[in-house]
Amino acid sequence: MKIRFTLLVSVAVAALAASPAHSANMSSTKPSSLASDAAYCPPGDQKSACGLPSKVVIDMSKAAVKRTDAEWRERLTPEQYRVARKQGTEPPFRNEYWNNHADGVYFCVGCDTPLFDSRTKFDSGTGWPSFYQPLEKSFVGEERDVSYGMVRVESHCAVCGSHLGHVFEDGPKPTGMRYCINSASLKFMPRAEYDQWTVARSPKAK
C-alpha cells in the first residue's frame, strides 16, 4: 500500500510538473468541523443538498496547478468551467457518468489527477456519480459549506482547486461516506489505459 501511494503521488507530480503556473484567482478561508455536520441528500430528490451549487472559498495558495481565468476557459468546455471553476451543479440523471459501470479511473478535468476508482463507485440513487472513497485521500480537498441555510462538505481537487461536488456520511461500507461528484468535473479512463498511463509515468519508466 505504501508503494502504491508513493507511485500515485509521483505520477501526479510528474503529470503536473509541465502545467503552467499562474497567480491564483481564488482566496481562502479555513473552516473547522467537516463531515460530521453534513446535510443529508435524499435519493431521488433533485432539489436536495447535493443538487445545490457551492458557495465556499477554496484555498488555492498550496495548489500545484494555477491558471488564469482565460486559461481555464480555453481548457474546459462551458459546462466544465461552470461546474469545476464556478462551483456549479449539473442535472441529476442527465450527466455523463452517473450510470457508467465501466472499469477504470476517474480523473480531474482540470489537471488530469486521478481521483476516484470505479471499484469504489456505487449507485446512490441520486443521479450523480457516487464513490465511497477517493483513490488517494490527499488528492481530494474538503471545505465546510454553509450556503443555502444548510451545512455541507464541499469537495474539490486538492491539486488544482476544481470543484467536484459534496461529501455525505450516508454511504456504504467500508467507509460510510458518499462522495457525490459532478460528471463535468471528471474524465474517465478505462482500466487497461490507466494501467499503461501509470507505468509510463512511473520513475522506473524514465
3-state secondary structure the chain: CHHHHHHHHHHHHHHHHCCCCCCCCCCCCCCCCCHHHCCCCCCCCCCCHHHCCCCCCCCCCCCCCCCCHHHHHHHCCHHHHHHHHCCCCCCCCCCCCCCCCCCEEEEECCCCCEEEEHHHEECCCCCCCEECCCCCHHHEEEEEECHHHCCEEEEEECCCCCEEEEEECCCCCCCCCEEEECHHHEEEEEHHHHHHHHHHHCHHHC
Cα–Cα distance between 154 and 151 in angstroms, integer? 10
Q: Look at phi and psi of residue 33 and say left if phi exceeds 0, alpha if psi is from -120 to 50, else beta.
A: left
Can you tell me the mean pLDDT for 67-78? Answer: 96
48-62, 95-109, 159-173 — which is least confidently predicted? 48-62
**What cell was used for 6?**
508513493
pLDDT digits over 124-180, tens only? 999 999 999 999 999 999 999 888 888 899 999 999 999 999 999 999 999 999 999
pLDDT band at 63 (very low <50, low <70, confident <90, very high): confident
CA torsion, points 73, 24, 32, 83, in degrees to nearest 10? 0
* Contact assessment for residue 27 and residue 157, using Cβ atoms and an 8 Å cutoff: no
- For the entire predicted model, the pTM comes to 0.78
* Contact assessment for residue 95 and residue 183, using Cβ atoms and an 8 Å cutoff: yes
Enumerate the active-site residues: 180
Angle between helices 191-201 and 2-17 (to 10 degrees): 80
Q: Which of 20-24, 61-65, 142-146 has the highest mean pLDDT?
A: 142-146
Cα–Cα distance between 156 and 185 in angstroms, integer? 9
Cα–Cα distance between 59 and 57 in angstroms, integer? 7
pLDDT value at 109 more than 80: yes
Give the pLDDT of residue 184. 97
Q: Sketch the domain layout of the chain as residue ranges.
A: 22-191
pLDDT digits over 168-180, tens only? 999 999 999 999 9
Give the length of the chain: 206
Domain 22-191 has CATH 3.10.20.740: no
pLDDT band at 201 (very low <50, low <70, confident <90, very high): confident
* Contact assessment for residue 56 and residue 144, using Cβ atoms and an 8 Å cutoff: yes
